[in-house]
Structure 1
Amino acid sequence: MLLAISGVAILGLVFVAALWAGKESDAAALDHQRKLVNGRLQDQVDRVSKDMRLMAAGFSSLLSENAVVADGGNDNSTAEAFATVATTAFGYNGTYLVTSTGELALEADAETARRYKWIRPLLLPMIRQADLKGPGQSETNPERIHVALMKLEGRPSIAGVTKVTASIEANGARTRLAQPLYLAAFRFLDGATLDALSREQGLAGARYARTADAEANEVAFQIEATATNEPIGFIIWAPDLPGSRVVARLVPLLSVAGLLIGGLFFALMARLRKSLQELGRSEDHARHLSYHDVLTGLPNRALFAERFQHCLDTLDASSGYAIVALIDLDRFKEINDTYGHPAGDELLRSVVIRLSPLFGERDMLARVGGDEFALLLPPGSAAGRALPELWEEVVSELAKPFNLRNGDIVVRIGGSIGAVTVNDRTLARSEYLRRADLALYEAKSHGRGRCVEYHEYLDTRNVEKDNLTQDLRLLLGSASDSVTQEPKGELEVFFQSVHLASDEMPLSGAEALVRWRHPHLGLLTPDMFIPIAEEAGLIDQLGEWVLRTAAIRAASWPLGITLAVNVSPSQVRRRGFGDRVLSIIKEAGLSPSRLELELTEAALFNLDHGAQETLAILRAHGIRIALDDFGTGFSSLSHLIQFNIDRIKIDRSFVSLLGSQAEGAAIVSSIIGLSRTLGKTTTAEGIETQGQRDFLIAAGCTDLQGFYFSRPMAGVDFDRIIARNEDGNTRAAHTG
């Protein structure tokens, strides 16, 4: 077996050596023929230069002796005869004596004039160059010859132009011609010239073609214009390839020997190959598992880090910049908890199938966490589109419904993106990932379903957020009392009035809104610190404080005025929330029927079965449940019935459309009609104009709220409004 393998190896080496030698021999022969053709063309150019020098000398002598011709007279027969002789003797297809403007200096017959008319624009630049002093041409040696390859009359040609210097005798003295003359001549490269070239260089079947339409056994030599380097034609011939002839004789002998030796160890090689293939597949599978996610098949965190580091190491100013983005699925945990891990796994695979077509072959989408993906766009990529357009497509695809379990389950999730531009190789990979993560947090904290690109102000905002978190923790009493801290301000509960939708618009209630009077930042609205409280785990403590503070003040209001308080999903999901609410309002002395708890659509989506039971217990005690920001989240109409919602609050974004867009009236009317059909009361938020107020009253809205009536105000100021409202009601009763 070893001898057989050795024989095959030696035979293979001989075979390869023969092929290599034949190929090298053919290449050398072909290169030699090309050099011969190129040299022959250069010889033609040099020959034209010499011919032009001789013909110019002849014309100069003729013009010096023939004053009539030189002075532009009509007696030009001698010059014409000389031109004919020069053309015939030197083998040119055309010879002309012209002026500096390219006009014929001698009278010519109609055919000659017509022919020259077509080639004159091509010769005119050469005439101008022949009049310029070039390198190596001095005043004592004014001879200037310009030779170039070009296409004339549709055929490849060598053309030459030179200045004809002559002098005539006038008044006993010889002077140069007043108007300079130029000799122009050209010779076609095809035809007789190509035949001579074929015979001299041994080019079999040489022919001229306008395009490189060589057959499989032919080669084409491109003739380029001197001025523009553009192809003006091709010389095509069948090259003599001695190496191929030798190989053609050796191949049959080597093939027979190879078959004889190959038959001896074919069976063994087949078995070895099968074993090696199995081993290779096993290694490839192990390597794939170490760098890819088993569930989705995407690259994992390790492979992404390796590719990202390589991209960072090879980054330079000339290659541009890369993009790294972190993509997080919104509400994935709820899908996993509600429908189980198999549904979550199917959802992840569906996400990959939907996102993969959006990226190019050079881009890398990797799964780096449970529901978190990382995207690397190397320099010059971005999938051939502008980044904002790409991010919008990703967000749009993730916002579409996903069908799970063969369509039995339809879910909506959405996604948030944090992106960072990678343009500085001195920064560590971890720093870029931190920036992308910071941008992702910014996207998720501002409503999700969007992309945020990193900017330096995010770091500043992050520091400010950390400071606010610490301040809020100290303010709520979570920090150690042994540490002395400077004052962190105080929390206040503001109230915004709610009015019945009638002509008199009496005061019907108020919504409690928390404010933070910070010692350095001034009065902070909820959107500036509620997300911080949720992230820091302080929202339950803060929400309880707001409910207690608002309930204590509302207990002193007239019985007809209700109190609305916002609660977060984490509060409702917390065990004992219902008992805690009932305990707080009991301590405050507030009747349950006067309390209304507001939850957003997103909050309803996140509530489990235990939270539903808590809300049912609170409703059984008389507390009402309101759905805030209706129509802006991902909830469905089934939540109105499932959670036994008492009130629907029409979002301010719809109310603001009233009076400006026709769609606004249709949307608001539909919500009010739906609420009336289901037996729910409605509150319209964000009313700022009388027109909006009148429309909502006419549409049948139950309650109204907005800046048109009052802005959120401190509890003391709201007590004054209640007092004025009571006085007005008393006077109205007496008047009645």
Structure 2
Amino acid sequence: MHFFNHLLHDHDLALILLAAAICAAGCYVGVGLSQRAASERGTARWHWCFLTGIVAGCTIWATHFIAMFGYRSPVPVSLDGVLTLLSAHIAVVGSCAAVAVATLSRRLWASATSGLLFGLTIAAMHYTGMSGYVFAGAEVRWDYGLVVVSIALGTALAAAANFRLSGSDGTKVDIGSVALWVAAIVALHFTGMASMTIAPLAGTVVTDATYSGVGGNALAGAIATISLMIVGLGLTTSQTDRRQQLRSRLRLQHQAMHDALTGLPNRRAFGRALAKRSAAAEATGAAFALLVVDLDNFKPVNDGMGHATGDEVLKRVAHRLECAARPGDFVARVGGDEFAILLDGVRDSSAAGSVADRVIEILGRPFLIGEQIAEIGACVGISLAPHHATNPSRLVNHADHALYSSKRRGKGRWQVFDDTLLEAIERRRVLEAALRRAAVREDFDVVYQPIVDSSTDELVGAEALARWSPATHGAVPPAEFIPMAEELGLIGRIGMTVLRKACREAMSWPDSIKLSVNLSPVQILDPRLVSGVAAVLHETGLPPQRLELEITETALLGDDELALRTLNRLVALGVNVSLDDFGTGYSSLSYLHRFPISRIKIDGSFVNQAPVDANSASIVRAIAELGKSMDLQITAEGIETAAQREFITSHGCQNLQGFLISRPLSEAEFSDLCRAAGQERAA
């Protein structure tokens, strides 16, 4: 009761409220600065501790002196300048020390120590400041019990404030800590004031208090103005820093969720967007489609034209995808040359297919990069939610399966997932494992398709053809397992297996019969090919001039200089080289001029139509004439009818091959054919 009577009757309420406002504002800013200091490390932490100490110290000092100016002293009062300045220094230095300790650790000892320092700072400032008040003609009496209580209250409340601060996340100013700081300052000040009694000496005239000839209200206003300026500086600094932190945080969040090159959302952002839509699809049946887009021919562009050009192509691909998608669709870059699009509200494959058509069409247009033209393309895999799945991982897997299927069908295609794709994927997985085992065990058969002289029907050679029949699936067509072997990097090993078997078996044939073996485009680019062929010839003893290696035009497109060096080295061994499927590819005459080719083989697609199709007939005649003019041997493949044979023979093709001549034969069957041919010649 004494405390409240003292507060209400012995003070100017307006100045007390001003002191409270200064205290609340300063504590609010101080708590915010203290949180900022705790979040820093190194030198920056001490800078923020110092700024916090300045604001907190000025707040404590201003609160004390403004409240003191509001105290109605019964006698005139003057201020001791040295003690008044000393009290200000105590407030600032002690606050800096208390804040520094509080920021060292979030443990209880740091909060307790900091609270003790803060409480003792308030007490030391208060009682030093009180010592600087000179009451003329009066005696000051102290209730030391209340003095102890004031120090205990200030220390306990300050410790509670710092302990609460240690548990805050620092994202916003902790109002509870502000209230405890205010309570610590106010409780210590007014409890300390209640412990003081001013007793005028006998004969002293009681008048309104004055301070060194200046009114208390004027002094209080000056101190409040200066303090508010300091607090405002701290607030401005804090808010400016918070805005910078917010901008930095937003920038980091953007960088974390967006691709640096294209500016599109990245894989992480795509994962979140897909998870959100998947959850909605599962909960409410909300439909959406996932399109996975994979670029065609990007690697040759990136490697051949340079990575800078490749990066520019990716940027423009991103822009074109945003144009192809509908407004509001989610477009992301999820890999090097892989993108994804989420189409909200799409329930059926036709709508998703329309977007896929636009994507394929717009990415199929040439890209003009500086003076270079880059031509790529795209394939698209599609999965639908909730029809196919609502689980994000399953949706992605289904779309990937559909993408894989579309790429196997050719470039510039799209495919919607269906259950039959899983069967194809499983078949592919099993076959890949079986093919790896077969490559190690050399578990391949070789059959031979006879080649005859067109004018005499004499057997002149055979083309070796690889066959594979795994126990789990039966015979697998070469058109299926050869591309698979190329993708898996097994074609070199398999090719050498077939070459070795064929050369070994050809040693039992008559010397006049040549052996033709196909080379994959991948093998042509293998630096070990020439040494491998030389080793097989040495191992089997087959004369090099009896071996003819068949290549396709596509083998010359990847790196024609490397291909030229490889073929020249093979010819140096004594091996002949033929160009297979002539006319179906680019058919550049420069190949025949630059490369050491001794034979060209007319593709069966022209031979089949030659007797009745004028265009095919013209192509066959042109190839035959070309062979004659360049002194090249000509072999026609795919002879199936007597009319085809007659047409081909009449145009000067030296050798014939096809089902009309013979189907592919096993080694035993071909050996029997060789013996029969030898007996006919002998007869």
Question: Of the candidates 620, 626, 636, which is equivalent to residue 684 of structure 1?
Answer: 636
Query: How far does residue 655 in structure 1 lie from its aligned partner after superposition?
Result: 3.6
- Deviation track 1:659-709 (CA, whole Å, cap 9, x = no partner) reads 565443344445555555555444333332233333333444443322222
Give yes or no for contact 1:418–1:436 (8 Å, CA) kept in 2: yes
Quick one: structure 1 residues 363 and 517, their matched pair in 2 at CA, closer, same or farther if it must change by over 3 Å?
same
Query: How far does residue 575 in structure 1 lie from its aligned partner after superposition?
Result: 3.0
Question: Of the candidates 585, 596, 604, which is equivalent to residue 548 of structure 2?
Answer: 596
Whether 1:344 and 2:307 are equivalent positions in the alignment is: no
Counterpart CA distance in 2 for 1:634 and 1:305 is 43
What aligned pairs does 1:454-493 form with structure 2 within 5 A after superposition?
Answer: 454-477=417-440, 490-493=443-446
Q: Show the counterpart of 1:624.
A: 576
Q: Show the counterpart of 2:270.
A: 304
**Structure 2 residues without counterparts, runs of 5 or longer:** 1-239
Give yes or no for contact 1:362–1:381 (8 Å, CA) kept in 2: no
- Deviation track 1:170-199 (CA, whole Å, cap 9, x = no partner) reads xxxxxxxxxxxxxxxxxxxxxxxxxxxxxx
Query: How far does residue 510 in structure 1 lie from its aligned partner after superposition?
Result: 1.6
Whether 1:583 and 2:535 are equivalent positions in the alignment is: yes
Whether 1:723 and 2:662 are equivalent positions in the alignment is: no
Q: Show the counterpart of 1:406.
A: 371
Quick one: structure 1 residues 571 and 363, their matched pair in 2 at CA, closer, same or farther if it must change by over 3 Å?
same
Whether 1:525 and 2:477 are equivalent positions in the alignment is: yes
- Deviation track 1:143-164 (CA, whole Å, cap 9, x = no partner) reads xxxxxxxxxxxxxxxxxxxxxx
What aligned pairs does 1:701-712 form with structure 2 within 5 A after superposition?
Answer: 701-712=653-664
Q: Which amino acid aligns with 1:565?
A: V
Whether 1:369 and 2:335 are equivalent positions in the alignment is: yes
Q: Show the counterpart of 1:359.
A: 325
CA RMSD of aligned residues (A): 3.9
Q: Which amino acid aligns with 2:657?
A: Q
Counterpart CA distance in 1 for 2:287 and 2:586 is 37
Counterpart CA distance in 2 for 1:320 and 1:661 is 55
Q: Show the counterpart of 2:108.
A: none
Query: How far does residue 318 in structure 1 lie from its aligned partner after superposition?
Result: 8.7
Q: Show the counterpart of 1:567.
A: 519
What aligned pairs does 1:50-89 form with structure 2 within 5 A after superposition?
Answer: none
Give yes or no for contact 2:324–2:362 (8 Å, CA) kept in 1: no
Query: How far does residue 495 in structure 1 lie from its aligned partner after superposition?
Result: 0.9
Give yes or no for contact 2:600–2:632 (8 Å, CA) kept in 1: yes
Q: Show the counterpart of 2:289.
A: 323
Give yes or no for contact 2:285–2:386 (8 Å, CA) kept in 1: no
Counterpart CA distance in 1 for 2:577 and 2:376 is 25
Counterpart CA distance in 2 for 1:542 and 1:347 is 37
Query: How far does residue 550 in structure 1 lie from its aligned partner after superposition?
Result: 0.6
SS at match of 2:265: coil
SS at match of 2:281: coil
Q: Which amino acid aligns with 1:310?
A: K
Q: Show the counterpart of 2:258.
A: 292
Counterpart CA distance in 2 for 1:394 and 1:661 is 38
Query: How far does residue 434 in structure 1 lie from its aligned partner after superposition?
Result: 1.7
- Deviation track 1:606-637 (CA, whole Å, cap 9, x = no partner) reads 34744542222112223233333345457855
Give yes or no for contact 2:262–2:318 (8 Å, CA) kept in 1: yes
Whether 1:422 and 2:385 are equivalent positions in the alignment is: yes
Q: Show the counterpart of 1:110.
A: none
Quick one: structure 1 residues 574 and 361, their matched pair in 2 at CA, closer, same or farther if it must change by over 3 Å?
same
Q: Show the counterpart of 2:406.
A: 443
- Deviation track 1:389-422 (CA, whole Å, cap 9, x = no partner) reads 6555655665565555413xx5554443333333
Counterpart CA distance in 2 for 1:538 and 1:629 is 23
Give yes or no for contact 2:281–2:390 (8 Å, CA) kept in 1: no
Quick one: structure 1 residues 653 and 387, their matched pair in 2 at CA, closer, same or farther if it must change by over 3 Å?
farther
- Deviation track 1:40-77 (CA, whole Å, cap 9, x = no partner) reads xxxxxxxxxxxxxxxxxxxxxxxxxxxxxxxxxxxxxx
TM-score of the pair, normalised by structure 1:
0.53
Query: How far does residue 324 in structure 1 lie from its aligned partner after superposition?
Result: 2.4
Counterpart CA distance in 1 for 2:572 and 2:440 is 34
Equivalent pairs, count: 447
Structure with the higher fraction of residues in strand conformation: 1
Q: Show the counterpart of 1:498.
A: 451
Query: How far does residue 541 in structure 1 lie from its aligned partner after superposition?
Result: 1.6
Q: Which amino acid aligns with 1:453?
A: V
What aligned pairs does 1:142-161 form with structure 2 within 5 A after superposition?
Answer: none
Quick one: structure 1 residues 694 and 368, their matched pair in 2 at CA, closer, same or farther if it must change by over 3 Å?
farther
Give yes or no for contact 2:346–2:352 (8 Å, CA) kept in 1: no
Counterpart CA distance in 2 for 1:499 and 1:320 is 67
Structure with the higher fraction of residues in helix conformation: 2
Quick one: structure 1 residues 519 and 332, their matched pair in 2 at CA, closer, same or farther if it must change by over 3 Å?
same
Whether 1:548 and 2:511 are equivalent positions in the alignment is: no
* Greater relative CO, 1 or 2 (CA 8 Å, sep 6+): 2
- Deviation track 1:182-224 (CA, whole Å, cap 9, x = no partner) reads xxxxxxxxxxxxxxxxxxxxxxxxxxxxxxxxxxxxxxxxxxx
SS at match of 2:498: helix
Give yes or no for contact 2:352–2:382 (8 Å, CA) kept in 1: no
TM-score of the pair, normalised by structure 2:
0.57
Quick one: structure 1 residues 576 and 660, their matched pair in 2 at CA, closer, same or farther if it must change by over 3 Å?
same
Quick one: structure 1 residues 576 and 322, their matched pair in 2 at CA, closer, same or farther if it must change by over 3 Å?
same
Q: Show the counterpart of 1:335.
A: 301
Counterpart CA distance in 2 for 1:663 and 1:391 is 36
Q: Which amino acid aligns with 1:468?
A: L
Give yes or no for contact 2:280–2:286 (8 Å, CA) kept in 1: no
Query: How far does residue 565 in structure 1 lie from its aligned partner after superposition?
Result: 1.5
Identity percentage of aligned residues: 39
Counterpart CA distance in 2 for 1:634 and 1:350 is 29
Q: Show the counterpart of 1:265.
A: none
Q: Which amino acid aligns with 1:495?
A: Y
SS at match of 2:444: strand
Counterpart CA distance in 2 for 1:708 and 1:453 is 42
- Deviation track 1:352-398 (CA, whole Å, cap 9, x = no partner) reads 4555544322444432222222233333389x966556555655665
